[in-house]
Amino acid sequence: MDDEVLRCPKTEEDWKEVDARFSSRWNYHDCLVAVDGKHIAIKKPRNAGSYYYNYKGFHSIVLISVADATYKFLCMDVRAEGGASDGGTWSNSSLHDAVEDNRAGVPQPEPLPNEDHPVPYHFVVDDAFALRTWMMKPFSHRSQVLRERIYSYRLSRARRVVENAFGILSQRCHCFNTMMQQNPDTINLITMCACVLHNLILIRYPHAISEVDYEDPDTHDLIPGGWRTEQHLQELVPLTGHHTQKDAKDQL
């Protein structure tokens, strides 16, 4: 059922539908998807050496995924071994290549609401990823002025959907909260099946969501979801080795 429930947008109209959900639900505009990655802990495969051994000290397979505003996965790459180079994990994914080569159908830049300066449509990520005009992340310095704090808050609020998508997945499929014993090919298949079932549940039962982050309605403080107590679905290895582009900085 992956073709039915796990569909990455391929046309401008499809991408704009995703953007409309981010705009209405998270008040963040010109946003296509939220991107993040996790290490899935696995038992060391036979004769693998350090091939799957990551910098956190365990063997893993890297799951990189993109999610929409409703916690559904749109596409994913679950083939990379935990010992892969930092820079190659995301940059070798098919979606990254499609966007870089202008094959993904990403819409042309459009002004934000009540503005007249065109802003590129973009993915939202955290500091683990390289800054691009089509891939934006919060300001990293501490001495942020008011407009920078507002921007970082709104972007982080939109980006958090992919973290919560992983959280929902791990809460429903407890195999991701343990060290998986199967061989890597089987684990890849299990992960893909779990993500398909995750989307199918959200499509049929859109209100069957629990344990996600939420905001205090009075203070707007983040209240962490219950899934964040799990330790085995780890953070993605920081993707170092890329240079921040001037055009992307200017876009901020």
Euclidean distance between CA atoms 99 and 74, whole angstroms: 15
Q: Is residue 54 part of a domain?
A: yes
Instruction: Say whether pLDDT at 224 is over 80.
Output: no
Mean pLDDT along residues 201-213: 75
Which of the two residues, 142 and 24, has the higher pLDDT score?
24
Instruction: Say whether pLDDT at 139 is over 70.
Output: yes
pTM for the full predicted model: 0.82
pLDDT value for 92:
84
Question: Which range marks the domain in which residue 137 is found?
Answer: 2-241
Query: Could you report the per-residue pLDDT of 165-197, keeping only the tens digit for each?
Result: 998 888 888 888 889 999 999 999 999 999 999
Which of the two residues, 8 and 229, has the higher pLDDT score?
8
Q: Is residue 248 part of a domain?
A: no
Q: How confident is the model at residue 233 (pLDDT cuts 50, 70, 90)?
A: low
Total number of domains in the chain? 1
pLDDT value for 91:
82
Instruction: Say whether pLDDT at 234 is over 90.
Output: no
Q: What is the mean pLDDT of the chain?
A: 84
pLDDT value for 80:
80
Instruction: Say whether pLDDT at 244 is over 80.
Output: no
Q: Is residue 246 part of a domain?
A: no
Q: Is residue 250 part of a domain?
A: no
Percentage, residues of the chain above pLDDT 90: 44
Mean pLDDT along residues 87-101: 84
Q: Is residue 247 part of a domain?
A: no
Q: Is residue 123 part of a domain?
A: yes
Q: Is residue 50 part of a domain?
A: yes
Q: Is residue 64 part of a domain?
A: yes
Mean pLDDT along residues 132-146: 89
Reduced 3-state DSSP string for the chain: CHHHHCCCCCCHHHHHHHHHHHHHHHCCCCEEEEEEEEEEEECCCCCCCCCCECCCCCEEEEEEEEECCCCCEEEEEEEEECCCCHHHHHHCCHHHHHHHCCCCCCCCCEECCCCCCEECCEEECCCCCCCECCEECCCCCCCCCHHHHHHHHHHHHHHHHHHHHHHHHHHHCHHHHCCECCCHHHHHHHHHHHHHHHHHHHHHCCCCCCCCCEECCCCCCEECCHHHHCCCCEECCCCCCCCCCHHHHHHC
HSE-CB for 229 with a 13 A CA cutoff: 5
Q: How confident is the model at residue 220 (pLDDT cuts 50, 70, 90)?
A: low
Query: Could you report the per-residue pLDDT of 19-75, keeping only the tens digit for each?
Result: 999 999 999 999 999 998 888 999 999 888 888 998 888 999 988 889 999 999 998
